């Protein structure tokens, strides 16, 4: 770490942004899982760097959590340091570029874009989670993907060094970016959007996309959206339907009757292990009956 950064980091009161033994269930959309040994909640770059320096000094592993809407947290919790990005939510607009810190919610990002007469993201209306999490997994809906708009991403490596990666180097593909396979923390996302003065039409489209999710029952029960990626040329949900697995349950975990690729915490007191076992059973049945391997989209966090 260079001297300027070290000086900056030493000014941070680490105790003010570090909490011990924090239950993660309330921070995740499944509402399951154990505690984080240590939870860091940075609100700026210096605090983020200070947390990474602290982890390095104490030999702690790092887990990043955004909105917690695409993760399954182990019931045994998460050792080391968990960094929650949701206090990193500054945003500014320069021409057609919207620069959002990683913890800003996708919905808020869309709203701010439209307020600045910038469009393109409306069909992602109602997508749960943060912009950092969405870029990491190249989230998408209604034929629109985050990768369509990313200009560049600023990230922090484990040494606290700030780096920049441009869209052409991000290795985007279906539900994948270069951040899916490295352990960098996305700090800021820069999107190039489309100038459009028709803001009321954009607001209407965003609201319609949001409402469609409620009507489809996506928020009726705690879930993390689709458990599995769609195998090339197939819909994971349809494969689960075809294999007649809609009534499968493990403990409090069940296959959603409205969308077979959603595994839901139907009882409200399911464990992460219930979710995990049900997903294993589904994948095994589908492989046996349809001869297709399902790959989990939801990320496993903590000790499995
Ligand atoms: C009801 C419901 C509907 C959904 N519908 C859709 C949909 O239509 N399309 C879709 O694509 N997804 C959907 N999802 C899944 C989820 O909303 C997206 O994947 C979302 O982008 C995840 O963002 P997050 O901030 O919650 O990430 P998290 O769940 O917090 O994290 C997901 C992964 O990203 C990593 N991560 C998070 N932030 C960062 C960061 N700043 N730097 C580096 N790594 C990071 C985490 O370590 C983890 O591996 C849905 C989920 C729910 C609950």
According to DSSP, the β-strands at 35-40 and 78-84 are: parallel
User: Rounded distance, CA 106 to CA 93, Å?
Assistant: 15
Q: Which of 185, 215, 245 is the last residue of a domain?
A: 215
Q: What is the DSSP string of 242-268?
A: HTT-TT-EETTEEE-SS-TTBEEESSS
Pair (21, 135) in one structural domain: no
Q: Give the pLDDT confidence score for residue 8 in this predicted structure.
A: 74
- Residue 231 falls within a domain, yes or no? no
Q: Give the pLDDT confidence score for residue 1 in this predicted structure.
A: 66
- Residue 222 falls within a domain, yes or no? no
- Residue pair 85/169 in contact (Cβ under 8 Å)? The answer is no
Chain position carrying tokens 């490596």: 157
Q: Which of 84, 109, 131 is the last residue of a domain?
A: 84
- Residue 304 falls within a domain, yes or no? no
**What is the three-state SS of 87-154?**
CCCCEEEECCEEEEECCCEHHHHHHHHHHCCEECCHHHCCCCCEHHHHHHCCCEECCEEHHHCEEEEE
Helix (H, G, I), strand (E, B) or coil at 286: helix
The set of protein residues with a Cβ atom below 6 angstroms from ligand 1 is: 29, 64-71, 85, 102, 127-130, 132-134, 136-137, 139-141, 179, 185-186, 218-219, 223-225, 299
Q: What is the CATH number of the domain that holds 138?
A: 3.30.465.10
Q: pLDDT tens per residue, the chain (304 residues)?
A: 677 777 777 788 898 899 999 999 999 999 999 999 999 999 999 999 999 999 999 999 999 999 999 999 999 999 999 999 999 999 999 999 999 999 999 999 999 999 999 999 999 999 999 999 999 999 999 999 999 999 999 999 988 899 999 999 999 999 999 999 998 999 999 999 999 888 999 999 999 999 999 999 999 999 999 999 999 999 999 999 999 999 999 999 999 999 999 999 999 999 999 999 999 999 999 999 999 999 999 999 998 9
The protein residue with its alpha carbon nearest to ligand 1, atom 35, reads 133
Cα 236 to Cα 38, 72, 103, 262, distances in angstroms: 36, 19, 29, 10
Query: What's the CA-to-centroid distance between 125 and ligand 1, angstroms?
Result: 14
Q: Which of 215, 249, 278 is the last residue of a domain?
A: 215
Pair (112, 190) in one structural domain: yes
- Residue 183 falls within a domain, yes or no? yes
pTM of the shown model? 0.96
Pair (70, 99) in one structural domain: no
The protein residue with its alpha carbon nearest to ligand 1, atom 8, reads 141
Number of domains in the chain: 3
Q: What is the CATH number of the domain that holds 47?
A: 3.30.43.10
Q: Which domain holds residue 147?
A: 91-215
- Residue pair 79/163 in contact (Cβ under 8 Å)? The answer is no
């Amino acid at each position: 770490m260079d001297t300027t950064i070290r000086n900056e980091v030493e000014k941070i009161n680490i105790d003010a942004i570090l909490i011990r033994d924090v239950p993660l269930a309330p921070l995740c959309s499944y509402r399951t899982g154990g505690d984080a040994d240590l939870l860091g909640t940075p609100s700026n770059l210096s605090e983020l760097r200070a947390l990474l320096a602290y982890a390095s000094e104490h030999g702690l592993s790092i887990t990043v959590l955004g909105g917690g809407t695409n993760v399954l947290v182990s019931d045994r919790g998460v050792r080391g340091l968990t960094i929650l990005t949701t206090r990193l939510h500054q945003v500014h607009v320069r021409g057609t570029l919207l620069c959002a810190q990683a913890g800003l919610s996708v919905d808020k990002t869309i709203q701010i874009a439209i307020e600045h007469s910038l469009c393109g993201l409306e069909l992602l209306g109602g997508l749960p989670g943060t912009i950092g999490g969405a870029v990491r997994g190249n989230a998408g809906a209604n034929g629109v993907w985050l990768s369509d708009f990313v200009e560049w991403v600023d990230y922090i490596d484990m040494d606290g060094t700030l780096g920049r990666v441009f869209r052409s180097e991000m290795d985007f593909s279906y539900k994948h970016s270069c951040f899916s396979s490295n352990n960098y923390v996305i700090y800021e996302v820069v999107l190039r959007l489309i100038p459009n003065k028709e803001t009321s039409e954009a607001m209407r489209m965003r609201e319609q996309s949001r409402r469609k999710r409620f009507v489809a029952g996506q928020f009726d029960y705690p879930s993390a959206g689709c458990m599995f990626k769609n195998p090339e040329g197939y819909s994971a949900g349809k494969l689960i339907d075809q294999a007649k697995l809609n009534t499968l349950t493990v403990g409090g975990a069940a296959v959603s009757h409205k969308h077979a690729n959603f595994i839901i915490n139907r009882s409200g007191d399911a464990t992460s292990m219930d979710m995990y076992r049900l997903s294993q059973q589904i994948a095994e049945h589908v492989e046996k009956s349809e001869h297709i391997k399902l790959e989990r989209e939801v990320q496993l966090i903590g000790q499995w």
